[in-house]
Amino acid sequence: RVLVTGSLGQLGTTMVNTLRTKFGGENVVASDIKKPAPEQRSGGPFVYADVLNYRALEQIVVDYGIDWVVHFSAVLSAAGERNPALGLSVNIDGFRNILDVAKNHGLRLLSPSTMGAFGPSTPKDDTPDLTVMRPNTIYGISKVHMELLGEYYAEKYGVDFRSLRYPGIISADSPPGGGTTDYAVDIFHAALKNNRYTCFLKHDALLPMAFIDDCIVGTMQLLEAPRDVLTQRVYNVHACSFSPAQMADEIRRLHSPEFAIEYCPDFRQAIADTWPRTMADHAARSDWGWNPVFGTADIARAMLDKLRPVYAAPNGRTL
């Protein structure tokens, strides 16, 4: 049985559906601290789980006979700069609770990391798995802590800890919350709604990105990989890199030549400035088969195709 924390978030929503299709609804326990919409309640168990409460987590693991945990609860980069105390408690204290539950109950633990774990002194092109890691955001600092503590528990207590450093993830099914890469989702909603977008990053802020389908396939691959094929515990994953201006060009090509974008960079540009432009992910490819298929144009097409019907509907959803 699998427990997913943060199951109502951008990644959790899709991951729960994928896990349920594969393992059966009852075998995937979705959890969050928010109240699920009715459709998010169907398909299998949903429980309240505050990652800051060790006992409550332990109770879920015992009651449901959990074997694997996919830990998606986190305060993302922009949200962490707005509220550092919250970032520290969820990303550091919450992770420690999850790790202790994994240790005490023999769980496999997949807890994603991020390109945000790199910092201003990290080489920006083809950033390797092993390199300088001195991030200057609460998010990055807490994710480096997560990687190191996970590795420590793996060495010392034999916890089956696995992690992958995601690029920005783009999806149409569930909104991202509080990230620096969120513009790459917002831009499609704005294009379809108003045919114009004000971007909080600069036109040339080139960042690694991946489409949700590739992200979930890869996460499942790492989750299910036999332990002995993994030569490391934390893997870079990269699919494509683009800037806001390049994505705006794709939208003009695929949606409307009149699409207008203006740039009003805010504090999130300073975060983006510290992240890689591209990441090297050879180990993920050779160890467990990471093989993303969506490039920049494919992502643009997929997002427009998925969101067009939403905005064509009389009560099109608003951003």
Q: Residue 166, interface with ligand VAH (CB under 6 A)?
A: yes
Part of the chain binding ligand VAH (CB under 6 A), chosen from 176-184, 190-198, 228-236, 287-295: 176-184
Using CB positions, name the residue nearest to ligand VAH. 179
Binding residue (CB under 6 A) for ligand VAH from 9, 94, 116, 292: 116
Part of the chain binding ligand VAH (CB under 6 A), chosen from 27-35, 55-63, 114-122, 285-293: 114-122
Smaller CB distance to ligand VAH: residue 97 or 236?
A: 236
Binding residue (CB under 6 A) for ligand VAH from 115, 199, 248, 302: 115
Part of the chain binding ligand VAH (CB under 6 A), chosen from 33-41, 178-186, 279-287, 310-318: 178-186
- Closest separation in Å from C-beta 214 to ligand VAH: 14
Could you give the string, one character per residue 64-83, with x where binding to ligand VAH holds by CB under 6 A and - elsewhere?
Answer: ------------xx------
- Closest separation in Å from C-beta 115 to ligand VAH: 5
Smaller CB distance to ligand VAH: residue 36 or 175?
A: 175
Part of the chain binding ligand VAH (CB under 6 A), chosen from 14-22, 112-120, 213-221, 258-266: 112-120
Binding residue (CB under 6 A) for ligand VAH from 31, 180, 219, 274: 180
CA distances from 139 to 74, 220, 235, 279 (A): 9, 24, 18, 18
- Closest separation in Å from C-beta 200 to ligand VAH: 11
* HSE of 192, CA atoms in CB hemisphere, 13 A: 22
Instruction: Report the C-alpha gap between 107 and 116 in whole angstroms.
Output: 26
Of 139, 166, 197, 235, which one is the catalytic site residue? 139
Q: Is 139 a catalytic residue?
A: yes
Q: DSSP string spanning the chain?
A: -EEEESTTSHHHHHHHHHHHHHH-GGGEEEEESSPPPHHHHTTS-EEE--TT-HHHHHHHHHHHT--EEEE-----HHHHHH-HHHHHIIIIIIHHHHHHHHHHHT-EEE--EEGGG--TTS--SSB-SSS-----SHHHHHHHHHHHHHHHHHHHH--EEEEEEE-EEE-SSS---S-STTHHHHHHHHHHHHSEEEESS-TT--EEEEEHHHHHHHHHHHHHS-GGG-S-SEEE---EEE-HHHHHHHHHHHT-TT-EEEE---HHHHHHTTS-SSB--HHHHHHH-------HHHHHHHHHHHHHHHHHSTT----
Report the site for ligand VAH in 181-220 (rule: CB under 6 A). Answer: 181
* HSE of 195, CA atoms in CB hemisphere, 13 A: 8
Could you give the string, one character per residue 265-294, with x where binding to ligand VAH holds by CB under 6 A and - elsewhere?
Answer: ------------------------------
Smaller CB distance to ligand VAH: residue 3 or 76?
A: 76
Interface with ligand VAH: number of residues (CB under 6 A): 12
Smaller CB distance to ligand VAH: residue 139 or 153?
A: 139
The catalytic residue positions are 139
Which chain residues interact with ligand VAH by CB under 6 A? 76-77, 114-116, 139, 166-168, 179-181
